[in-house]
Copies of this chain bind each other. A is one copy, B any other.
Amino acid sequence: MQMTERVAPAVEDAPEAPWHPVTRSRSHELVLDQIEEQILAGTLRVGDRLPGERDLAGHLQVSRSAVREAIRGLEAQGVVRSGVGSGKDAGTIVSAMPSEALTRLLRLHVALSNFPLPDVVDARVMLERSSAALAADHAGEDDLDAMRAALDGMDSAGIGAERFNDLDTAFHVAIAEASGNRLVADMTIALRDSMRRPILHALEALGPDWEGVADQLRKDHRAIFAAIESGDGALAADRVDQHIRSAHAVLPFATHG
């Protein structure tokens, strides 16, 4: 069967954003819609296995390619995972990898400058303030250890900018993980990770001066850690706020153009 139809959409105009699509006809999108609908309706849950690609294609009356392309879309959103072979990990299974998907998505859009840098900074401040405040209340010994490891690593003599930046990221991630709020943590991580590369480039652009900046960052981190360790959420939030804003003020970000 060979088809390429056009469907007439029945759109109910919301007060915002009138118009909407018109192109909702590509068969792989229709397949995607059906699967998503089952997820939204609760028919498909985490751990459930989708029918085989060939079966699905047969039931939906589309080619296997269309089904596969739809699955790729879901995969990119961290909603399913596919495995070959048979048994346990085989087949296409609904699963939960929101963190990775969110990170990939934000990283790309930040790189494309779809979000102005000041907006990103403000968002980071907002998120990491919350993360730090929550972490001050919820952080367990494991969480604190992870932070200490990152801090100690950053103190290593002769550490390079790249390694330093990775550990810096790890420190912020550790705080987010300690917040106890999965969603806030994932958004925090995704945003910080999306800044990883830009920050590295900025550090490298500093040349020999980067050590001075690094020293300030080390001091900031230690101060933040102290506030979290002592359970002072408000103080931790303020220090994270100040840390992020001052860092972005000092770092020379390329305008990418």
Contacts and interface: CB of A to CB of B under 8 A. Distances in A.
A249 to B, nearest CB: 18
A150 to B, nearest CB: 5
A239 to B, nearest CB: 18
Interface string A22-38: 00000010000000100
A45 interface: yes
A141 to B, nearest CB: 15
Contacts of A187: 123, 187
Contacts of A174: 15-16
B46 A173 contact: no
A204 interface: no
A96 B72 contact: no
Interface residues of A, number: 65
Contact of A40 (B15, B74, B77, B108): B108
B182 A116 contact: yes
Interface in A174-210: 174, 177, 181-184, 186-187, 197
Contact of A115 (B69, B122, B170, B182): B182
Interface string A85-96: 000000000101
A15 B150 contact: yes
A14 interface: yes
A40 B195 CA distance: 11
A67 to B, nearest CB: 11
Contacts of A159: none
A20 to B, nearest CB: 10
B16 A123 contact: no
A146 interface: yes
27 contacts: A12-B166, A15-B170, A16-B146, A16-B174, A28-B72, A45-B112, A46-B114, A69-B69, A72-B72, A74-B76, A76-B76, A78-B105, A79-B109, A79-B112, A94-B112, A98-B109, A98-B114, A105-B105, A115-B182, A115-B186, A119-B181, A119-B182, A119-B183, A120-B183, A122-B181, A123-B187, A126-B127
Given A16-B170, A73-B73, 8 more contacts: A16-B177, A70-B72, A79-B109, A96-B112, A96-B114, A98-B105, A122-B183, A126-B127
